[in-house]
């Protein structure tokens, strides 16, 4: 296995141009035969330094990559905007990853996922929304009943109304912790531009669990494309009002259960996911 580390030093006023070209190089290189990894990184302290990390099955695969049309076209274009010559180091990988540790992209996404509570106003692209909804539809369900329905709401006025009415009902509940949340939180959906209401089929006993599995799928899918999401259970106060829940369009025989707020992250979290209690496992072997 071959690893390549290519350090590029963009001119101060050409950083974005180089990033655009480098992203195109990554996109076109990943499908190549023998490509195991092709990733672009930017130095946090020195944003002019852009590093491409590559892994190839064989030296021949790397040579074929360097002879490809996109490589021959994009590398000179990037070079025109560099302050100095690219530093390229090639390594032969001598050790394998720990065989006792299973690792892949899906597991990495699950490990780093964190609820987002700070969203940009910009609306999601339709393709991104459909990718998240499709992930929900692909969730497992008892007897393959698939007892869910997804209502996407992007009407800002309606989203705010659901939040305000939920808080009103929370205050009227007489439950002190809920009253405190309602009084201190401005918006239950953190001003996300989109919410997805998940409804369960009334005549399916496992609907609550099945819909929860669908939501988990959507949360992981959102993180995988760097879109923020948060599961909002407090929206149930709105759903329990017969009159108000009529405003959630859905087929007859379905009851709204939860909402998921989704949108572009306003800022990347620096703290990472919350610490997990590992003392929750029992083995009976």
The one-digit pLDDT tens for each residue of the chain (285 residues) are 899 999 999 999 999 999 999 999 999 999 999 999 999 999 988 899 999 999 999 999 999 999 999 999 999 999 999 999 999 999 988 876 666 677 788 888 998 899 999 999 999 999 999 999 999 999 999 999 999 999 999 999 999 999 999 999 999 999 999 999 999 888 999 999 999 999 999 999 999 999 999 999 999 999 999 999 999 999 999 999 999 999 999 999 999 999 999 999 987 665 667 788 889 999 999
Q: Sheet containing 254-263: which strands, arranged edge to edge?
A: 148-153, 194-201, 254-263, 228-232
Give me the residue spans of the domains in the chain: 2-92, 112-263
Nearest Cα to Cα of residue 268 among 162, 112, 135: 112
CATH of domain 2-92: 3.30.70.100
Q: How far apart are CA 237 and CA 257, in angstroms?
A: 10
pTM exceeds 0.75 for this model? no
What topology does CATH give the domain 112-263?
NADH Oxidase (3.40.109)
Angle of helix 176-184 versus helix 156-171 axis, rounded to 10: 140
Cα-only R_g, the chain? 24
Distances (CA, A) of 119 to 71, 115, 283: 37, 11, 41
Buried b / exposed e along 6-15 (16+ C-beta atoms within 10 A): bbbbbeeebb
């Amino acid at each position: 296995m071959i690893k390549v580390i290519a350090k590029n030093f963009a001119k101060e006023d050409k950083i974005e141009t180089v990033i655009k070209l480098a992203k195109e190089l990554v996109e076109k290189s990943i499908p190549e035969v023998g490509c195991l990894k092709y990733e672009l990184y930017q130095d946090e302290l020195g944003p002019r330094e852009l590093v491409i990390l590559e892994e190839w099955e064989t030296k021949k695969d790397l040579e074929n990559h360097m002879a490809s049309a996109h490589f021959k076209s994009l590398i000179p274009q990037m070079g025109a905007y560099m302050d100095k010559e690219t530093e390229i180091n090639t390594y032969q990988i001598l050790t394998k990853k720990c065989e006792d540790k299973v690792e892949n992209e899906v597991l990495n996404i699950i490990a780093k996922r964190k609820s987002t509570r700070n969203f940009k106003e910009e609306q999601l692209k339709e393709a991104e929304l459909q990718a998240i909804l499709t992930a929900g539809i692909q969730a497992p369900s008892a007897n393959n009943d698939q007892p869910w329905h997804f209502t996407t709401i992007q009407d800002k006025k309606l989203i705010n109304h659901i939040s305000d009415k939920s808080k009103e009902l929370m205050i009227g509940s007489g439950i002190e912790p809920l009253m405190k949340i309602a009084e201190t939180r401005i918006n239950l959906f953190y001003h996300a531009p989109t919410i997805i209401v998940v409804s369960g089929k009334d005549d399916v006993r496992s609907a609550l669990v099945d819909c929860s599995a669908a939501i988990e799928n959507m949360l992981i899918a959102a993180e995988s494309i760097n879109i923020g999401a948060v599961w909002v259970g407090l929206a149930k106060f709105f759903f329990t009002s017969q009159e108000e829940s009529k405003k959630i369009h859905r087929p007859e025989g379905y009851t709204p259960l939860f909402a998921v707020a989704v949108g572009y992250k306003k800022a990347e979290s620096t703290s990472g996911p919350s610490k997990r209690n590992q003392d929750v496992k029992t083995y009976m072997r």
